[in-house]
Amino acid sequence: MNFWESLFARIGSLVFIFTTLERFIPSQFWDTVDIYLRKLAFFFNPNVEITFDEFPPEDYGRSKAYAAIQAYLGTNFSGQTARLKATAAGKGRGVTLSMDDCQEIAEVYKGVKVCWMRSTKYPRNNVISFKESVDEKRAYILSFRQKDRNVVVGSYLTHVLGEGKAISKRGRKQRLYTNVSGDDWGSDDKMMWRSVGFEHPATFETLAMDPKKKKEIMDDLIEFTKARDYYAKIGKPWKRGYLLYGPPGTGKSTMIAAIANFLRYDVYDIELTSVSDNTNLRKLLIEISKRAIVVIEDIDCSLQITGKRKGNHSGHKRDNPTVEDAVRKAGDGGDEREESKVTLSGLLNFMDGLWSASGGERIFVFTTNHVEKIDDALIRRGRMDRHIEMSYCCFEAFKVLAKNYLDLDSHHMFDAVRCLLSEIEISTADVAESLVPKSAEMGADECLENLMAALRKGKGEAEKMGGERQGGEVFRRLKKHIRRRLVAQK
């Protein structure tokens, strides 16, 4: 066995011994060893170190300073390191580079030399797992000489954070977030949100709605974005609420996408049934960034909270369950699975309680098909500042759809469509479906003929249902009259 073979064999033995010791020796021992090793390193290299954790223990969310440093170093100094991490920057925008673990970047600022290093600590345990750990602790470490402390702390860090935020803003891409189930969080709150790039193409220009109504909404949104000082003056959190209500297929979700694209805001779509209790709902709120739209769709179906006040004004739990409770439990299968404990009070506090002021420039949007089922306290003015009815398709909305799908501004069949739309109720989704060409050879005339056929069919069904209702009403009145005559004869 030559020298190199012997060396590698000894190294392998040492690694095996160290791994075995690490498995059986308590983690507190290794933490103590780490402290003394740091003291020893400081004795030979008395530099000052500042650590920027990705998830500081004293905060709920991801550190904004960490994100700014990541953008600053990745953009300006990625060419200095041999190992880099790459993430997709978005459609047609290449990749975003950042330094890998244990890599160093040196910079000279106003004659002061500083050094950055990225560090990742992994949890010590006796469990072998191929799943990515949620307890990884990432951080950027800045080191510099003690004599340069005033320059680094006084102006260099301000320079880095300002530049990093500006870089992030220039390369910012809208995101669509959704909350994950509380069972999937593990031990770290950073798992609460998952996101993808927001690429919905809807805009106010393509939104099928009356132009005057669209203009009012757009003006209100612009006024909101410029009202920071006004909200501070009146002592209210910088937020606004929109209630979108109307029948299915009238464009409520499309409206949300159009608002997001108009303001360039991120969208946070909250699934309330995945939130275990009010505390975790509050944690979700704290994690939401500024310039965001918070969406709860179908609020009347999200949880059994919107009608609780109507059935139980006292707010106390009923000792004797009713027949309806038993039927509801049987309908749910009668199992004992864990259900969300989010309450109406918790949701109200989420919207405009003390914790709602933790961020800024947020828009809350609720959607519902049945506005009459929602508790008045949830949608009163001040919580839902604007109530926007997404009604059935009108002629102005049809013209927008005709422009979108057929590139038509006018047509000889438009007058007939106008007359039929004034006589029946049809959703914009149904109108759009009729206007979609079913083949490449299908022209605008055929699409409009399909729409006319659908409108005529809808009109006939409406007249038939109206006649049946009228006949039923006559029959009920006749029975009531006969019953009264029989009673009088007795």
Q: What percent of the chain has pLDDT over 90?
A: 32
Model confidence at 280: pLDDT above 90: no
The reported pLDDT for the residue numbered 244 is 94
DSSP state, residue 106: E
119: pLDDT confidence band, cut at 50, 70 and 90?
A: confident
Specify the pLDDT at position 325.
47
Residue 444 has pLDDT above 80, yes or no: yes
Q: How confident is the model at residue 466, as a pLDDT?
A: 62
The upper half-sphere exposure of residue 485, i.e. CA atoms within 13 Å in the direction of its Cβ, equals 6
Q: Specify burial of residue 12 (Cβ count, 10 A radius: 0-12, 13-18, 19+).
A: exposed
Inform me whether the pLDDT recorded for 485 exceeds 70.
no
CA 348-352-356 angle, 5° bins: 115
How confident is the model at residue 320, as a pLDDT? 44
More confident residue, 197 or 23: 197
Structure tokens at 300: 């009347």
Top pLDDT among 212 and 318 is at 212
**pLDDT tens digits for 154-187?**
899 999 999 988 887 777 788 999 988 655 544 4
Half-sphere exposure of 346 (CA within 13 A, CB side): 18
Reply yes or no on whether the pLDDT at 130 is more than 60.
no
3-state secondary structure (DSSP) of residue 306: coil
**Per-domain residue ranges of the chain:** 9-45, 48-173, 177-310+339-389, 395-489
pLDDT (tens digit per residue) in 57-67:
766 667 888 88
Q: Which CATH superfamily is domain 177-310+339-389 in?
A: P-loop containing nucleotide triphosphate hydrolases (3.40.50.300)
Residue 17's pLDDT band, with cuts at 50, 70 and 90, is: confident
Torsion of CA 370, 372, 373, 374, to 10 degrees: 100
Strand partners, 241: 364
Select from 291, 296, 279, 269 the least CA-distant residue to 355.
Answer: 279
Indicate whether 235 pLDDT > 90. Answer: no
Per-residue model confidence as pLDDT tens digits over 71-93: 888 877 766 666 667 666 555 55
More confident residue, 458 or 162: 162
Instruction: Return d(Cα 61, Cα 188) in angstroms, integer.
Output: 10
